[in-house]
Amino acid sequence: MAKQYCSLYEKLEKETKLTKEDIKKIMNIVRKQMNFMIKNNIVITPKNYERWFYVFCNIVENNKELNDLEILGLFKEMFDAPYDEIKEKAEEGAEVKQKGMVKKLVRIADIIEQKLYEVINTIDTHNESIEHHQEEIQSESDLISDEKIQPILKKILEELEMLRRENDLLTKELRKYHADVVRLQGELMTARTEAEIDFLTGLVNRRRFERALLEMINDYQTRGYPFALILFDLDNFKQINDRYGHPAGDQVLKEIALILKTFLRANNIAARIGGEEFAVLVPGATAREGEIVANRLRQTIANRTFNTLEDEVRATASFGVTGVRKDDTIDTIFARVDKALYEAKNNGKNQVVVIE
């Protein structure tokens, strides 16, 4: 649907050569798009990023002046979908089979940045050569008294000086353009990173976690390399929010993330996959070895005092643990570990239940 709204669509899809004007247009589109998404708290997922790129492509190409409500209306006209849709359609799977516009734009920016750098260096070299020839001609002209040759040499020197000045102006423009491209690279890299990170805790989000989980399931099925999956949920978290306020609840979640980052090994993958729900992948571990990790985390959380702005808060967590099986999919292993967590909650909370 977006194709008819954005003439850059086919060029980006087919990866055809972009003109200088195309590059300027892309930079302008991305800058406007990023500002709008950040201002309106739209999560920068690959799907959201791609859709909003098309929206702002249409706005820029048609020189439209729209307010935020009109921009949201244009989005609905183009896609007939939630403007802040976070999850991909289920059939796209954990591999996220989207068009990859962010990756393409990052690659384009990288190539342009490198080419601009080379061009700037080439012009600098040419300017040095021009200055050298100017000096040589000036030196020789001082020794020549022939009145017919003198005007010719003077004209050559004037032409060389004009060329050098034009090169200087071009270099300044290119350096400014190069700086814009470098900034664009940073914006695109930020977008790509934020699409996989939970904003509050800094842990990976469910999308990235499920992709890692799928990779580990495939690894187990091809090489027999095991892993344990831990799922845990903070007990009575709603009561913490109700009693101490949501800022206190957010602080508890941040400190849970800090515990995970501190106590887990470097090869473990921890994620916030829901409101107060977290998951951990423990490579090379059986379900029973995962239980040891889960109990260590459970005890650390139970023994910790969470310092908020006004109060000291205590919390506990319930854990489910399972190990990978030969015929597992993302759905089956999650269903199993979720069942273990449910049993831990029903058995009194603040405990670990294992289903091997």
Q: Choose the catalytic residue: 50, 196, 276, 291.
A: 276
To the nearest 10°, report the CA torsion of 337, 295, 226, 211: 60
CA–CA separation, 306 vs 92, rounded Å?
39
Q: Which residue has the tokens 């799977």?
A: 93
For CA atoms 124, 130, 134, 140, the dihedral sign is: positive
For CA atoms 355, 333, 324, 349, the dihedral sign is: negative
Q: Which residues of 7-32 are buried (b: 16+ CB within 10 A; e: fewer)?
A: ebbebbeeeeebeeebbebbbbbbbb
Establish whether 276 is a catalytic residue. Answer: yes
**Which among 152, 160, 170, 162 has a CA at the least distance from the CA of 135?**
160
Residues with a catalytic annotation lie at 276
